[in-house]
Amino acid sequence: MVPHLVTALNGPLLDLEKKILGATPAIERWFRMEWQEHTPPFYCSVDLRNAGFKLAPVDTNLFPGGFNNLSPEMLPLAVQAAMAAIEKYCPDAKNLLLIPENHTRNSFYLQNVARLMQIFRQTGLNVRLGTLEDIKKPKQIDLPDGSTITLEPLERSKNGRRLGLKNFDPCTVLLNNDLSIGIPSVLEHLDEQNVLPPLHAGWAVRRKSNHFSAYDDVVKKFAKLVDVDPWMLNPLYAKCGELNLQEDAGSDCLADNVSSLLSKIRKKYKEYGIKEQPFVIVKANAGTYGMGIMTVKDASEVKDLNRKQRSKLVVGKEGLEVNELVIQEGVHSFERINEAVAEPVVYMIDRYVVGGFYRVHAERGINENLNAPGAHFVPLAFQQQHALPDLQAKPGTAAPNRFYMYGVVARLALLAASLEMEKTDPNPEVY
Amino acid sequence: MVPHLVTALNGPLLDLEKKILGATPAIERWFRMEWQEHTPPFYCSVDLRNAGFKLAPVDTNLFPGGFNNLSPEMLPLAVQAAMAAIEKYCPDAKNLLLIPENHTRNSFYLQNVARLMQIFRQTGLNVRLGTLEDIKKPKQIDLPDGSTITLEPLERSKNGRRLGLKNFDPCTVLLNNDLSIGIPSVLEHLDEQNVLPPLHAGWAVRRKSNHFSAYDDVVKKFAKLVDVDPWMLNPLYAKCGELNLQEDAGSDCLADNVSSLLSKIRKKYKEYGIKEQPFVIVKANAGTYGMGIMTVKDASEVKDLNRKQRSKLVVGKEGLEVNELVIQEGVHSFERINEAVAEPVVYMIDRYVVGGFYRVHAERGINENLNAPGAHFVPLAFQQQHALPDLQAKPGTAAPNRFYMYGVVARLALLAASLEMEKTDPNPEVY
């Protein structure tokens, strides 16, 4: 199943697909060489939007949930990639401590945790769950499929340099908690263990603007390699200053930036003969994509934000307050499944694409965030016949070809995340 | 689809399946540690036979054909594994030279070659085919699916230390030719390139008895880890001396060895209450499995071999004559697909299982070699729902559980091949 691409102007993207397929050996070699220089994030999911004339990542998640949405057929791929990842950090690893999100009763999320445990068990690890919640004894949670998972209280080792559970000393601590709550002291100074992803990948420290800037660099090189306009793959963006929650300060800067970004987009649309209405996305510089996000078509919309609107923008999950905003060129999502707007989400472990799905939202528009209640998930058709790209196929018609292109663009974001983590590392290793 | 296991006595194997599933983290960690010490073969296929009371590899092929029989859904797994393999030998590799079998018009085999090219292209390599045949200019061959492949004449570089094609200088030379013809001088002394598999993996040098001996060692360790009788996984064997093609010499030794091996098997069958009739397989110590192979139930059958029978045993593919014989405990194949005898074949690239299929032969018996004209292929059901082992399932009922067990046993043979290559390396590297 290839979702229907409902746009008059898909010529540029079909051209991109053709160029990417044709350059496959060069592209894969380029990634191979980049991964010699840079360490990929342990795992990552990337939300893409396909506008027909443009294909771009709009969210790069370093603490991906949703592994339960991947098609079971593709799990061996995840296991194989996880084997490569584990070997890199701790080849003789026996135990893995997984730390999930706090206080969640979301059974979809808990199934993601169970799925991750299943994947890592299969790579040769005993996996147990530690929680940042303040519990005194193990807590069992029943899952919809009849199985249970057990959250256990964390324990620091006697020397203070390791984290574990009762009778469980892991080689690696794997976070599936994005640290929107800040960095808890129990995770600090674990000098004898790998903490993955690193603490500065959490939203207490991470800033989207750093990611965008790293992505700029990556796309510039890649666009040269395959000979396309980098804008095809890269939304324009601007960083705004502080937006004060209490006062009106900051609104002017926001409106000015929105206005200038919109006029840049208009120019590009004109260059390519695109008739759609440009829009930008205003969002907090930190925090998960699903929170604090606003679609804006005209600067006047942000000129006089009331307190409620401002508060919605800057207060994220678990009350994390980030006053800094980023403004990003909006990318229409012109893919449709049964008339509903769909956006692909690509999952990676280490440097490998291990699957993906479409996030589908029947009640949202082509220029709105789909990561919202009411979304459902349709696995990407990796599992269908001829799962390797088909060079003979007419551009735009073969599912594996479109998904290969998605995998390439998602890996550009993955590489950008790797550069971002290097540049923002508070304790860079010197070689 | 799990093929029907037609045997009264499958208790031991269900027990093995249970033990292997339960010990998965320990098993995978054990493999991970072994691969720290030993380099896996570049690629490998292993034929298994499942007797219900016994599961054993009967052929370990270091120049696997048949990649075209893997289900297309699993190809991403092959690509991912090939990426890991290539990175190990030549991280900045741009070009790969693939050398297929000679003089073959077998379109199934040629589709295997095309499939390998497709896999390696997807890992970021330009792949071209060089041939050991004496051709002066490129030769196009049409494939049944309408595509073509081109064989090109080999060229040694000016300094004599590299092999390539016209305007094509590869980093790695990958052999898909088992060198039954001997080692051609054009492949010797390629000091500046990786030749994979190494030349001593070819049947001009390789001996099955070395593989059996390495497999003994591997199974001994593994059987201890999961607490089973090593015999469950390991056919008994004996090496016989020279069988002279012209004279009767060697026949006595052969008959004696057959007799003593049969009595050892009888003892084991008694121990386990197995009512089947024991048999042994007599085959040349070198050469592909499909050639020169004889099922023997009684020593008298080999006592007076006539010249034709003897010649059949010692003359393999392309006339390679190997007088030395090995005798191996026969393993019944009690798996059936639509009443026909079936045996699983598992494919690996680097240390990863990337797929497999059943070789099915309607006209062969449970104690006969199925690798013969008339065989057909059914992909292993890796692609079905819940492709990761299911710990909840009743032993013997879940396809992924049986195939996981097959993957484990195939990797035991893979590890044995790695040890075998180390031990038989004519120029061992000293660290």
For helices B208-226 and B11-22, angle between their N-to-C axes, nearest 10 degrees: 70
Residues 27..56 of A with a Cβ closer than 8 Å to B: which? 27-33, 36
Determine if the peptide bond prior to B64 is cis (ω within 30°): no
**Beta carbons of B76 and A382 less than 8 Å apart:** yes
H runs (alpha helix) in A64-135: 75-89, 107-122
Question: Which residue is closest to A121 within chain B, CA to CA?
Answer: B25
Opening angle at CA B114, ends B49 and B319, nearest 5: 60
| The pLDDT value given to residue B308 | 72
For chain A, say whether B25 makes contact (Cβ under 8 Å). Answer: yes
Give the C-alpha separation, A199 to A123, whole Å: 24
Cβ atoms within 10 Å, residue A315: 18
Give the C-alpha separation, B165 to B113, whole Å: 17
Question: Which residue is closest to B68 within chain A, CA to CA?
Answer: A386
Give the C-alpha separation, A344 to B324, whole Å: 59
What three-state secondary structure class fits A4? strand
Chosen for mutation from A111, A383, A403, A404 (greatest number of chain B CBs closer than 10 Å) is A383
Question: Which residue is closest to B36 within chain A, CA to CA?
Answer: A91
Question: Which residue is closest to B125 within chain A, CA to CA?
Answer: A25
What three-state secondary structure class fits A21? helix
Helix (H) or strand (E) holding B292: none
- Chain A closest-CA separation from residue B352 CA (Å): 7
Closest CA to A155 of A171, A127, A120, A131: A131
Q: Output the six-digit token pair for A2.
A: 């290839």
Helix (H) or strand (E) holding B121: helix B107-122
**Beta carbons of B29 and A121 less than 8 Å apart:** no
Question: Which residue is closest to B37 within chain A, CA to CA?
Answer: A91
- The residues, ordered by sequence, that sit 6+ positions from B368 with a Cβ below 8 Å of its Cβ are B295, B341, B361
Name residue A359's amino acid: R
- Looking only at the bridges linking them, the beta strands covering B148-153 and B163-164 are unpaired
- Looking only at the bridges linking them, the beta strands covering A155-156 and A163-164 are antiparallel
Do B334 and B296 touch, CB atoms closer than 8 A?
Answer: no
- The residues, ordered by sequence, that sit 6+ positions from B185 with a Cβ below 8 Å of its Cβ are none
Give the C-alpha separation, A230 to A213, whole Å: 13
What is the DSSP code string of A242-306? Answer: E--SSSSTTHHHHHHHHHHHHHHHHHHHHHHT--SPP-EEEEESSS-TTSSEEEESSTHHHHT--
Nearest to B92 among A33, A94, A385 (CB): A33
- CA dihedral angle for residue A181, residue A183, residue A187, residue A191, rounded to 10 degrees: 160
**Beta carbons of A76 and B122 less than 8 Å apart:** no
For chain A, say whether B155 makes contact (Cβ under 8 Å). Answer: no
Sort out which chain B residues have CB atoms less than 8 A from A387's CB and list them: 72-76
- The residues, ordered by sequence, that sit 6+ positions from B213 with a Cβ below 8 Å of its Cβ are B420
Q: Give strand pairing partners of A109.
A: none
**Beta carbons of A387 and B83 less than 8 Å apart:** no
Chosen for mutation from A77, A172, A405 (greatest number of chain B CBs closer than 10 Å) is A77
- The residues, ordered by sequence, that sit 6+ positions from B429 with a Cβ below 8 Å of its Cβ are none
- Chain B closest-CA separation from residue A280 CA (Å): 36
Name residue A167's amino acid: N
Closest CA to B119 of B343, B408, B349: B349
Under DSSP, the state recorded for B315 is B
Q: Give strand pairing partners of B342.
A: B335, B360
| The pLDDT value given to residue B260 | 94
State the ipTM, two decimals.
0.86
| The pLDDT value given to residue B235 | 95
Higher-pLDDT residue of A174 and A400 is: A174
What three-state secondary structure class fits B213? helix
Residues 382..411 of B with a Cβ closer than 8 Å to A: which? 382-389
| The pLDDT value given to residue B386 | 43
Nearest to B72 among A32, A92, A385 (CB): A385
Give the C-alpha separation, B204 to A426, whole Å: 57
Nearest to A72 among B121, B353, B385 (CB): B385
Mean pLDDT, rounded, of chain A: 86
* pLDDT over threshold 70, residue A175: yes
Phi, psi of A291 (to 5 degrees): -110, 155
- Chain A closest-CA separation from residue B301 CA (Å): 46
Residues 68..127 of B with a Cβ closer than 8 Å to A: which? 72-77, 79-81, 83-84, 86-87, 91-94, 118-119, 121-126
| The pLDDT value given to residue A382 | 46
Sort out which chain B residues have CB atoms less than 8 A from A381's CB and list them: none
Give the C-alpha separation, B187 to B173, whole Å: 9
Confidence class for position A430, pLDDT limits 50, 70, 90: low
How many residues are given for chain B? 431
Do A316 and A322 touch, CB atoms closer than 8 A?
Answer: yes
Phi, psi of B269 (to 5 degrees): -60, -40
**Beta carbons of A73 and B76 less than 8 Å apart:** no
**Beta carbons of B352 and A83 less than 8 Å apart:** yes
Confidence class for position A305, pLDDT limits 50, 70, 90: confident
Q: What is the pTM of this model?
A: 0.90
**Beta carbons of A77 and B75 less than 8 Å apart:** no
* pLDDT over threshold 80, residue A20: yes
Residues 210..269 of A with a Cβ closer than 8 Å to B: which? none
Sort out which chain B residues have CB atoms less than 8 A from A84's CB and list them: 84
Sort out which chain B residues have CB atoms less than 8 A from A356's CB and list them: none
Q: Output the six-digit token pair for B186.
A: 């054009």
Do A313 and A370 touch, CB atoms closer than 8 A?
Answer: no
Cβ atoms within 10 Å, residue A312: 16
Closest CA to B79 of B39, B116, B46, B113: B116
Strands in B110-228 per DSSP E? 126-131, 139-142, 148-153, 155-156, 163-164, 172-176, 194-196
Ordered per-residue pLDDT tens for chain B, 431 residues: 455 555 555 667 788 888 899 999 999 999 999 999 999 999 999 999 988 889 999 999 999 999 998 888 778 889 999 999 999 898 899 999 999 999 778 888 999 999 999 999 999 999 999 999 999 999 999 998 888 999 999 999 999 999 999 999 999 999 999 998 899 999 999 989 999 999 999 998 999 999 999 999 999 999 999 999 999 999 999 987 766 655 665 667 788 889 999 999 999 999 999 988 999 998 888 876 555 678 899 888 887 777 677 777 666 555 556 678 889 999 988 777 777 888 889 999 999 999 888 888 877 877 777 777 777 777 665 444 446 777 777 776 677 788 899 999 999 999 999 999 999 999 887 55
* Residue pairs between chains A and B whose CB atoms are closer than 8 Å: 125
Q: Output the six-digit token pair for B401.
A: 């559980």
**Beta carbons of A388 and B33 less than 8 Å apart:** no
Q: What is the pLDDT of residues A343-400, one digit of tens each?
A: 889 999 999 999 888 888 877 777 777 777 777 777 665 444 446 777 777 776 777 7
Q: Output the six-digit token pair for A393.
A: 């196929």
| The pLDDT value given to residue A280 | 94
Q: What is the pLDDT of residues A116-159, one digit of tens each?
A: 999 999 999 999 999 999 999 999 999 988 889 999 999 999 99
Residues 319..358 of A with a Cβ closer than 8 Å to B: which? 352-353
Give the C-alpha separation, B173 to A374, whole Å: 53
